[in-house]
Amino acid sequence: MVLIDYGAGNLHSVEKALLAAGVPARRAADPEVARDADALVLPGQGHFGQVMRSFERSGFAPVVAAHIAADAPFLGICVGLQLLTRGSEEAPGVPGLGVLDAEVRRFPARGVSVPQMGWNQIRPLGTPALLAGIDSGAFVYFANSYFVTFPEAAVPSGAETVYGETRFLSAVSIGRLHATQFHPEKSQAVGLRVLRNFGDVVRGPRT
């Protein structure tokens, strides 16, 4: 398993959490090291445009796209989820990877503070392997002003969360692609279970 090092601010905490969950990952700043990895983990936090440009400069973008196209295990975290979409309202004109038929929108500031900072609940949609053994209503940690939205007819399995008037996808699972808007590395026991579940996805049979 390779943890992609393209300068993401939450890289070290994700690395420590993976180790604590019994899913150690090799940190790699060279795309060639990641090209044949059995699994990839893409962290991310910050402004969509800045993060996407840094990701493209790193040379990892085509490696990640090919990895996902091959249905190899992948985990995106926070902006690491948002980078997979077509683009974000946070950075108009900066395209995402476009591997998800989705867009990133800003929370409306009606009755809530933006960004969302702190604990909120998740409710599984379907039976995603990433959330196996996690109760509906479990609390996880968020730090986001933006959320991912899919066309209504194409909402994947994963999890949903309500913040103010907005019901949004807090986790996405499509095949062996998994991604969370919340931070499992900051979500204590629930977050460690999410990371262990991803380890099970990596070790399990291809479906």
Query: How confident is the model over 140-169, as a mean pLDDT?
Result: 93
Tens of pLDDT, residue by residue over 122-152, are: 999 999 999 999 999 999 999 999 999 999 8
Distance of alpha carbon 182 from alpha carbon 141, whole angstroms: 6
Instruction: Report the mean per-residue pLDDT for the chain.
Output: 95
Query: How confident is the model over 93-100, as a mean pLDDT?
Result: 96
Provide the pLDDT for residue 28: 95
Provide the pLDDT for residue 109: 87
Q: What percent of the chain has pLDDT over 70?
A: 99
For residue 88, the 8-state DSSP code is B
Provide the pLDDT for residue 110: 87
206 pLDDT band, cuts 50/70/90, is: low
Provide the pLDDT for residue 207: 46
Provide the pLDDT for residue 116: 96
List all residues 6 or more positions away from 78 whose beta carbon is below 8 Å from its beta carbon: 10, 43, 44, 45, 143, 144, 180, 181, 182, 183
The set of catalytic residues is 78, 183, 185
List all residues 6 or more positions away from 148 whose beta carbon is below 8 Å from its beta carbon: 81, 82, 85, 100, 102, 103, 104, 168, 169, 172, 181
> Which token pair is 135?
């109760």
- Taking every pair of Cα atoms in the chain, the longest distance, rounded to a whole number of angstroms, is 47
Nearest to 124 by CA among 115, 111, 137, 114: 137
Q: What percent of the chain has pLDDT over 90?
A: 92
Taking 80 as the threshold, does the pLDDT of residue 153 lie above it?
no
Looking only at the bridges linking them, the beta strands covering 40-42 and 74-77 are parallel
Query: How confident is the model over 146-172, as a mean pLDDT?
Result: 93
Domain borders along the chain are 2-203
* Domain covering 2-203, topology: Rossmann fold (3.40.50)
